[in-house]
Amino acid sequence: MPSERAAGALLPESPVKNLAGVGPKKLALLEAAGIRTVADLLYAYPRTYEDRTRILTLGEMQAGQPAAFVAQVLSAGGKARYIPGRKKVPYTVLVGDGTGTAQIVFFNATWLGNLFLPGRRFLFFGSPEPRFGHMQFVHPDFERLPDEAGEEDAKAAGILPVYPLKAGLAQREMRRWHKDALSAAPHVTEYLPDEILGARNLPTVQAALTAIHYPDSREALKAARARFIYEELFLLAVGLLQVRARRTDAAVSAIKFPRKIKAEAFEKTLPFTPTAAQQRVLREVYADMEAPRPMNRLVQGDVGSGKTAVAMGALFKAVGSGYQGALMAPTEILARQHHASLRAVFPQMSIALLTASATAAQRREILASLAAGEVDILIGTHALLQPDVAFARLGVVITDEQHRFGVSQRINLKQKGKSPDVLVMTATPIPRTLAFILYGDLDMSVIDEMPPGRKPVMTKALTSARRDDVYEFVARQLAEGRQAYIVAPRIEEDEAADASGLRSAEGLYAEMQGTLSGYEVALLHGGMKREEKERVMEEFRDGKIRALVSTVVIEVGIDVKNATVMVIENAERFGLAQLHQLRGRVGRGSAESYCFLLTDSKSEEAIERARTMTQTENGFEIAEKDLALRGPGEFFGVRQHGIPNLALADLSKHAKLLGKVKADAEQLLKADPELLAPRNEALRERIDMLFADVRDIGI
């Protein structure tokens, strides 16, 4: 045992209650924040830092610029006390340093007691605001110094961590605990291989942990952060690559679909010639199905690129080989649409539809024939996930619009068979780097080509000054026999929203009775009853309804070729991905189509979004732009269950680094796929822990 590991010394695995000042109350608060051990505390990084390396004089301080200064108390404004009934009771301290004076203000500061006595010296850190001829600091950080300047002053200087605080925890406590915890830093295990630290010029974990909490210099801090950013991405990359590799090896029991059912045979059943991209992806899918491991493939394709045909191809092969198939869609409307198109293409098959609107008797009948193996293909919504939905020989499972489902739902459906092949489809294009993180466990195919004859959708961003022109144009399109979508950001009228100029679907619907009088106009929104929504959609598809006023419920998957105009009101309220999806509802037939984005927003981001929409129709370009504008939050809204957190790494900023990290991870796993070498033991343990969830659900 090394001598530092003496009894009583803090170790990474020590519980935080061993730290001085952590009683039962504080312990509960720390644990609620996920901090149980000293190591957890070490890995809970500061939110930001106070740079006290340079101490300014009051004369040098600039309004709005946080900095450190040392000053003496000149007078304190009365007692720090609490007056019942008054919310904010100020307590004011006047301080000076010979170059100027400043007012320090605390509210409801009973806890300050008699700390600020005239003559005492303090180091403050804060951002001054000019107030009534004075410089004012509200709730600055402070630390008492000896009354005479001396050596002690230097100790208070430096770069200080600022921790994110949960209610009930104070910054000074967190600082003290972190500082104490640092004595355990030398014992923290290094996960990163030496050669990577060397090649990427990164500090060791022990050095980096110390430097990220109490850096000696800005450079040391930068190096420490770089190391942890690398570490986060590396753990993620190694874990995901392993999950994928294990899936490839392990599946002994997977179905090996016979080769004799070929893609060409399926393609002949289609009413159109598949695009080269569809053909390529279809062959990737068939190769997966014929392989002895289970398929786990994501098909990404822009709205209208024809993903359904690929799904049909997989079902065709499964059914032709004597298996059943399942196709799950996020909305009833979409499930019905798939049901109709599949029945048209496969008239000889038994294709059932199961949604929440099936009656008990219908449901019983469907489930019975499904279990008896009489149903070839079951199409439906979340209703497919219910426990009593049981297949006789489930061979392939397809999830459409995967981003609308959670990973656990995908897994749930898959578990209805014995290692069935899994295909998931999404119309939300994901930049490659992010796709690796989000779907690193899946193989990926991209349909990067549109069916022929599709014309670009003429897209215009206009202010409300042109609104009347837009609707006049809509009326002319309707007169030519076309149909239109009109989308609003909200359902109901509401005074506050009206005042801010926000349109509602209900308000627009009323307005359109006049503007588009003579044409059948209907309303569609998420608050309506299911049967009502279905009736409206059916009538719109049949051309009876000519203009559909709606909220974003129409975003997903609807295919009405005769619809040629999309008007989006308050376009600033929609994200780029949504705008792109909405526009994808038109331009599906051979007629010229139009998309109008109405917005009066002056927000730079909204303007940039509108500009992007008018400049490109390429979903991947739009996704990259979205990522740049909004960061990865949007994409991580659909984060997979079980993927470790990123505290410092930011995928939009570190996309390039991720490429290098992935290459390093691949190289490491090539030499030691299961990380069995003794030198990789710590890394293996860490990854097994981080990815425990993913392994348990057996992706």
The residues that touch Mg ion, with contacts defined as CB under 5 A, are 557
306 near ligand ADP (CB under 6 A): yes
For 358, the 3-state DSSP assignment is coil
Q: How far is the CB of 447 from ligand ADP (least distance, A)?
A: 7
Using alpha carbons only, give the angle 99, 100, 105 rounded to the nearest 5 degrees.
Answer: 145
Residue 305 binds: one of Mg ion, ligand ADP, none (C-beta under 5 to 8 A by kind): ligand ADP
Q: Which of 173, 176, 188, 178 is nearest to 212 (CA)?
A: 178
276 near ligand ADP (CB under 6 A): no
507 near ligand ADP (CB under 6 A): no
**What is the C-alpha radius of gyration for the chain, rounded to an integer number of angstroms?**
31
Q: Residue ranges of the alpha helices (H) in 432-503?
A: 432-438, 467-479, 495-499
Task: Please say whether the beta carbons of 139 and 165 come within 8 A.
Answer: no
275 near ligand ADP (CB under 6 A): yes
Contacts of 366-374 with C-beta under 8 Å, sequence gap 24+, read: 370/324, 373/324, 374/350
Distance CA 635, CA 138 (A): 38
Q: How far is the CB of 546 from Mg ion (least distance, A)?
A: 24
Part in contact with ligand ADP (CB under 6 A); list of ranges 19-27, 283-291, 299-307, 406-414: 299-307
Mask for 418-447, x = binds ligand ADP (CB under 6 A): ---------x--------------------
Angle between helices 218-250 and 205-213 (to 10 degrees): 130
414 near ligand ADP (CB under 6 A): no
C-beta closer to ligand ADP: residue 97 or 302: 302
C-beta closer to ligand ADP: residue 150 or 453: 453
483 near ligand ADP (CB under 6 A): no
Residue 318 binds: one of ligand ADP, Mg ion, none (C-beta under 5 to 8 A by kind): none
The count of chain residues that interact with ligand ADP, using the rule CB under 6 A, is 18
Of 526-565, binders to ligand ADP (CB under 6 A) are 557, 559
203 near ligand ADP (CB under 6 A): no
Residue 573 carries which DSSP code?
Answer: G
Distance CA 181, CA 103 (A): 36
Question: Using CB under 6 A, which of 174, 205, 289, 303 touches ligand ADP?
Answer: 303
Q: In what order do the strands lie in the sheet with 547-550?
A: 457-462, 593-598, 563-568, 483-487, 547-550, 521-524
Q: Which of 432, 441, 439, 445 is nearest to 652 (CA)?
A: 432
Q: Residue ranges of the alpha helices (H) in 106-217?
A: 152-156, 171-181, 194-199, 205-213
CA 440 to chain centre: 15
Nearest residue (beta carbon) to ligand ADP:
306
Part in contact with ligand ADP (CB under 6 A); list of ranges 186-194, 267-275, 376-384, 628-636: 267-275
Task: Please say whether the beta carbons of 310 and 278 come within 8 A.
Answer: yes
Residue 412 binds: one of Mg ion, ligand ADP, none (C-beta under 5 to 8 A by kind): none
Q: How far is the CB of 267 from ligand ADP (least distance, A)?
A: 10
Burial per residue of 499-536, b for 16 or more beta-carbon CB atoms within 10 angstroms, e otherwise = eeebbbbbbbbeebeebbeebebbbbbeebeeeebbeb
272 near ligand ADP (CB under 6 A): yes
C-beta closer to ligand ADP: residue 242 or 275: 275
255 near ligand ADP (CB under 6 A): no
Residue 278 binds: one of ligand ADP, Mg ion, none (C-beta under 5 to 8 A by kind): ligand ADP
Residues found near ligand ADP in the complex (CB under 6 A): 272-275, 278, 301, 303-309, 427, 451, 557, 559, 588
